[in-house]
Amino acid sequence: MEIEHLSRRTLLGGVCTGAAFAAVPSWAQGHSIHGGHGSSHGRGGPRIPAGFGELSGEVIDLTVGSGHRIVEGRRGPGIAVNGSVPGPLIRLREGQNVKLNVTNNLNADTSIHWHGLLVPFQMDGVPGISFPGIRPRQTFTYEFPIRQSGTYWYHSHSGLQEQSGHYGPLIIDPADPEPVEYDRDYILLLSDFTVLDPHFIMSRLRTGEGYFNRQLSSWTDNYPMSGEERRMWAEMRMPATDIMDIGAPTYTFLANGRGPKEGLEYLFRQGERIRLRVINGSAQSFFNVRIPGLPMTIIAADGQKVRPVEVDEFQIGTAETYDVVVTPGKADAYAIVGESMDRSGMALAMLASLPGARASVPPLRDPPLLTMADMGMNHGPAEEGGHGGMDHGSTDHEAMGHGADAEAPAAASHSMDGMSMRDTSLLPPDVEIGPGVDMVSMTPVDKMGDPGLGLRDVKHRVLNYRMLAALEANRDTREPSRLLELHLTGNMERYMWSFDGRMYSAVSDLPIRFAWNERVRVKLVNNTMMAHPIHLHGMFFELVNGKNADQQPRKNVVIVQPGASAQFDLTANEPGDWAFHCHLIYHMHGGMMQTVTVVGPGGEK
Amino acid sequence: MTVRVSIISVALLGAALIATPADAQHAGHSIPAPMPNPVPSRAPAPPTADPHAGHTMPADPAPTADPMAGMDHSQMDHGSAEDTTSISPGPTMETPPPPEAGSGPPRAADIIWGADAMRASRQDLQRTHGEFNVFWLQGDRFETQIRNGREGYLWDLQSYYGGPTSRFWFKSEGEGSFGERIEDAEVQALYSRAIAPFWDLQAGVRQDLTGPSTTHAVIGVQGLAPYLFEVDAAVFVSHRGDVTAHVDAELDQRITQSLILQPRAEINLAAQDVPRLGMGAGIDKVELGVRLRYEIIREFAPYIGIEQSWHVGGSADYARVRGEDPSATNYVVGIRFWF
């Protein structure tokens, strides 16, 4: 009954979005609500509903409050913007000015960071870097011109509030007509829900190795690993099964705030072109997104238009956005599957031709395993394994997305003898070598062509960064004048994460500095076994992905694959101090963060 | 307490953006259309630059002519990891920033908001991103022991408070038989500092709570050895000058996600006879045990197990003098917990 009701509204489109906002509870509009106990993650307070309304205009009022959320019967802490999780869609138009009045009804400081938006640095919303934060009962006014268009989002940059629901979508309509035609425009915001206090999660990540991983290797698992490989991983003290640190059942994966059994539905008519704006607003999750039976044409990445490219699946790292266009065919329904990268669960929505129409949902695929290539072992015997698909795989040679490092454990044929997983002489002298560095990638290679963990051996077309090309030519195509190499470092056991071996707490006063308008190539080298979605605030960078400089895709998040490197070119033309960090929230709090300072045109900071 | 919100009316509506009217310019733009490949000339990999020399695949086949597959085809089969051959030109050696990049801490926000206004948030950001303290307490063994019909007990607790590389540790171990005086009990207070990714160096004091009052200086290492053995090794120098040592190692063998078999070994050593403590020089005591635990939750796991201990050499003699069997088999039932 609920479904039917809602579906009718969905058909009505804009009418119901207005109605939705009217339904925001009174507490969210300024009344005091209070979870008590001095924590911003209380479970008390009103229930926060899933889903969101829409706001637009020159002046937008937002209120941050706490309450509780119930997802598929499980009750967890909630922090909501305007009383819903996700928070309301903020819909703006390129060229307008906007004033956003953010009122804090929590009893802890809060903030909103406009992810991907080009703003003056003091409006970027990072307490301690761009502004002092928003104190309880205070209203802070953000004000800036809108200089871009596309699909973005916003979220808290205070504490761990994002995990509890403090995020929402932000769409900017272009001043010029859209270059791509479509009949319907939908948002799919993926996120992760937990019943736990995020501070508890942080603490357990530091104290309990593998605490949230329910797919650890064991005597009775089904992982295709030989005894020799298992012993090798044990010898190295590295978990081959640590794909995301946290998975189901700790997390329930959400689509627009709803669990997979809660029936998110997008209506379509056969043959319509549907634009789906996919936002990964999770705290710590990667998703592999596919719609069985429907190819997807990627038209934008991180809000920036790209040359259309058709795929069957793509991985979306934390904080990335992709816009895709699909054209549903004759089926009554299609399942939009956002499978978590560790395959412990999925976010789920339906494209439905009739309210309530349901497509069959594919089962979770087997969880992927890390390989020796994810330790940067790309030479010697490992390489043969790593390239099995390409060298001999004539049968599936044409199978797309293939040939990256073998998903099948490749390392069995050789031992670690004579190879060091922590040869610190491979690191440049500016990396601090200490207990916070548990691994050094042996031969880090550029993996722009890697579709991501779990997707290297699937039999259909999968997106990778090499396939992205800017639709509109980049303005600055100067050859970078210098290279900045940053090493992503970590210690899984201690849950320390850092750039160049120093956690943020050690480098908060040592920014990465760029001169005004300097053109820099930044090389990120991942000396850990996890994929890190690295995010730079305030500016787009261009992925060095094999395209000509004017077509390198603009992004603000780049996934650096385990043991691999990734490069981007940056024009430092947004003066001020900016946050630069891994967008996995517990990695950021574990230390993988630094400030970037861009000196202004007159030489001022 | 709970405000009943009209959930239904808000639900699902996020999905409903209005279908954009076709103001966008038309067709011709249909997306799957083949597009000119943007990269005019991507040469095959120069053999020297390619770490996989021997590959015969060109770096980019770039079959722009294929109208159906369009670009995906060409892009995908080199979805392979690592051709770095055709990137746009740029520097390959890291160089320091130019002087115009300035120096000093990041203080741009101070100019806008004032240094006083920024201070608290700066400190908070620094304190919560990296080095922050956590508390951990574990009762690794908290058990009843059944030996020759006589029932005893044992505890083995440890706890730390501190950051990821610098911590204060507290340890306590003790055992006894029900209805009798505690046989052994000790506490240790240690400062622990990371000396390697998996190892901490620990130093501090140990106080024996039973027998002749004894205080020891402690220096040891604790950490995770290759093959995931949890190792704790320490040397003790008592205030009387006796030197003893202790090594224990445990290994978690996961049978399922919740059922864990834990072999454990412990060796106590003495550099000299310590008659007062009933220890003989050399190996004093060896324990081998195995415990099978079930993690109801990660933090709470009841277990059963069996443990064999031997007093060796001089210590065995002391045990016989006391009228004890130098070797003993214990059946154990206990709880492992932590938080």
Instruction: Decide if B133 touches A, using CB distance below 8 A.
Output: no
State yes or no: pLDDT of A581 exceeds 70.
Answer: yes
| Of A224-233, A396-405, B32-41, minimum mean pLDDT range | B32-41
Residues A103-125 have pLDDT tens digits of: 999 999 999 999 999 999 999 99
pLDDT bin (cut points 50, 70, 90) of residue B19 is: very low
State yes or no: pLDDT of A78 exceeds 70.
Answer: yes
Task: Say what the pLDDT of residue B193 is.
Answer: 97
Query: Which H or E element spans position A70?
Result: strand A59-71
pLDDT bin (cut points 50, 70, 90) of residue B85 is: low
Residues A26-60 have pLDDT tens digits of: 333 323 233 333 356 766 789 999 999 999 999 99
CB atoms within 10 A of CB B53: 10
Residues B150-199 have pLDDT tens digits of: 899 999 999 999 999 999 999 999 999 998 889 899 999 999 999 999 99
pLDDT bin (cut points 50, 70, 90) of residue B89 is: very high
A182-203 burial code (b ≥16 CB/10 A, e <16): bbbbbbbbbbbbbbbbbbebbb
Instruction: Decide if B109 touches A, using CB distance below 8 A.
Output: yes
Question: How far A397 CA sits from the closest chain B CA (Å)?
Answer: 7
Q: Is the dihedral of CA A419, A425, A428, A432 positive or negative?
A: positive
Nearest CA in chain B to A204: B339
Residue A208 CB burial class (10 angstroms; 0-12, 13-18, ≥19) = middle
Contact A86, B12 (CB under 8 A): no
The overall average pLDDT reported for chain A is 87
Task: Say what the pLDDT of residue B40 is.
Answer: 33
CB contact under 8 A, B78 and A403: yes
> In angstroms, what is the C-alpha Rg of chain B?
33
The whole-angstrom separation of Cα A440 and Cα A563 is 8
The whole-angstrom separation of Cα A219 and Cα A217 is 7
Residue A320's nearest CA partner among A345, A294, A289 is A289
Task: Say what the pLDDT of residue A1 is.
Answer: 29
Contact A330, A351 (CB under 8 A): no
CB contact under 8 A, A16 and B13: yes
Query: Which H or E element spans position A351?
Result: strand A346-352
CB contact under 8 A, B15 and A187: yes
| Of A102-106, A114-118, B247-251, B313-317, minimum mean pLDDT range | B313-317
Q: Which residue has the higher pLDDT, A78 or B28?
A: A78
pLDDT bin (cut points 50, 70, 90) of residue B8 is: very low
Residue A37's nearest CA partner among A27, A25, A45 is A45
Residue B37's nearest CA partner among A546, A98, A197 is A546
Residue B173's nearest CA partner among B220, B210, B219 is B210
Residue A574's nearest CA partner among A556, A558, A589, A560 is A556
Q: What's B21's DSSP letter?
A: P
Please state the rounded mean pLDDT for residues B20-38: 33
Which residues in chain B are closer than 8 Å to A510, comparing Cβ atoms?
A: 105
State yes or no: pLDDT of B141 exceeds 80.
Answer: yes
Contact A566, A560 (CB under 8 A): yes
State yes or no: pLDDT of A18 exceeds 70.
Answer: no
- Residues constituting chain B: 339
Q: What's A210's DSSP letter?
A: T
pLDDT bin (cut points 50, 70, 90) of residue A375 is: confident
Q: Is A474 helix (H, G, I), strand (E, B) or coil?
A: coil
Residues A411-468 have pLDDT tens digits of: 333 344 556 889 988 999 999 999 999 999 998 999 999 999 999 999 999 999 999 9
**Partner-chain residue, chosen from B29, B52, B73, that has the shortest CB–CB distance to A179:** B29
Please state the rounded mean pLDDT for residues A167-190: 95
Q: Is the dihedral of CA B76, B77, B78, B80 positive or negative?
A: positive
Lookup: tokens for A353:
């031709």
What percent of chain B lies above the pLDDT cut of 70?
Answer: 75
Which residues in chain B are closer than 8 Å to A180, comparing Cβ atoms?
A: 24, 29, 31
Regarding beta strands A139-145 and A113-115, do their DSSP bridges make them parallel or antiparallel, or are they unpaired? Answer: unpaired
| Of A103-117, A181-195, B42-56, B261-275, minimum mean pLDDT range | B42-56
Please give the C-alpha separations between residue A343 and each of A204, A243, A248, A339, B18, in angstroms, as whole numbers. Answer: 22, 9, 9, 6, 33
State yes or no: pLDDT of B275 exceeds 50.
Answer: yes
CB contact under 8 A, A403 and B79: yes
State yes or no: pLDDT of B149 exceeds 50.
Answer: yes
Question: How far B181 CA sits from the closest chain A CA (Å)?
Answer: 35
Lookup: tokens for A539:
């500016």
Residue B228's nearest CA partner among A240, A532, A367, A488 is A240
**Partner-chain residue, chosen from A132, A181, A206, that has the shortest CB–CB distance to B117:** A132
The whole-angstrom separation of Cα A403 and Cα A391 is 9
Residue A278's nearest CA partner among A324, A240, A209, A334 is A324
- The residue behind tokens 């504490």 is A159
Instruction: Decide if B239 touches A, using CB distance below 8 A.
Output: no
Residues A498-526 have pLDDT tens digits of: 999 999 999 999 999 999 999 999 999 99
CB contact under 8 A, B81 and A405: yes
Residues A325-362 have pLDDT tens digits of: 999 999 999 999 999 999 999 999 999 999 999 999 99
pTM above 0.90, yes or no: no
Contact A106, A79 (CB under 8 A): yes
> A385 φ, ψ to 5°?
-60, -45
Write down the ipTM of this complex. Answer: 0.87
The whole-angstrom separation of Cα A148 and Cα A538 is 12
Please give the C-alpha separations between residue A587 and each of A1, A244, A245, A299, in angstroms, as whole numbers. Answer: 42, 11, 10, 30
Please give the C-alpha separations between residue A192 and each of A289, A472, B26, B235, B311, in angstroms, as whole numbers. Answer: 15, 34, 38, 47, 55
Regarding beta strands A557-560 and B166-177, do their DSSP bridges make them parallel or antiparallel, or are they unpaired? Answer: unpaired
Task: Say what the pLDDT of residue A25 is.
Answer: 37
The whole-angstrom separation of Cα A244 and Cα A280 is 14
Task: Say what the pLDDT of residue A42 is.
Answer: 65
CB atoms within 10 A of CB B73: 17
Q: What's A107's DSSP letter?
A: S
Please give the C-alpha separations between residue A485 and each of A432, A500, A501, A557, A567, in angstroms, as whole numbers. Answer: 14, 9, 13, 17, 9
| Of A65-69, A175-179, B54-58, minimum mean pLDDT range | B54-58
The angle formed by the CA atoms of residues A115, A121 and A123, to the nearest 5 degrees, is 70
Which residues, in sequence order, are CB contacts of A38 under 8 Å at separation 6+?
A107, A108
State yes or no: pLDDT of B83 exceeds 80.
Answer: no
In whole angstroms, what separates CA A576 from the centre of its chain? 24
Which residues in chain A are closer than 8 Å to B113, comparing Cβ atoms?
A: 122, 131-132
Task: Say what the pLDDT of residue A604 is.
Answer: 62
Please measure the distance between the N-terminal and C-terminal CA atoms of chain B and give it in whole angstroms. 31
Counting one residue from chain A and one from chain B, the pairs whose CB atoms sit within 8 A come to 467
pLDDT bin (cut points 50, 70, 90) of residue A372 is: confident
Task: Say what the pLDDT of residue B266 is.
Answer: 97
Residues A256-302 have pLDDT tens digits of: 999 999 989 999 999 999 999 999 999 999 999 999 999 999 999 99
The whole-angstrom separation of Cα B270 and Cα B244 is 4
CB contact under 8 A, B12 and A485: no
Helix A14-22, helix A2-12: angle, nearest 10: 120
The whole-angstrom separation of Cα A321 and Cα B170 is 47
Q: At CB < 8 A and 24+ separation, what contacts does B268-275 make?
A: B268/B244, B269/B244, B269/B245, B270/B242, B270/B243, B270/B244, B270/B245, B270/B315, B271/B242, B271/B243, B271/B244, B271/B245, B272/B242, B272/B243, B273/B314, B274/B242, B274/B244, B275/B318
Q: Is A304 helix (H, G, I), strand (E, B) or coil?
A: strand
The whole-angstrom separation of Cα A560 and Cα A530 is 9
Task: Say what the pLDDT of residue B7 is.
Answer: 36
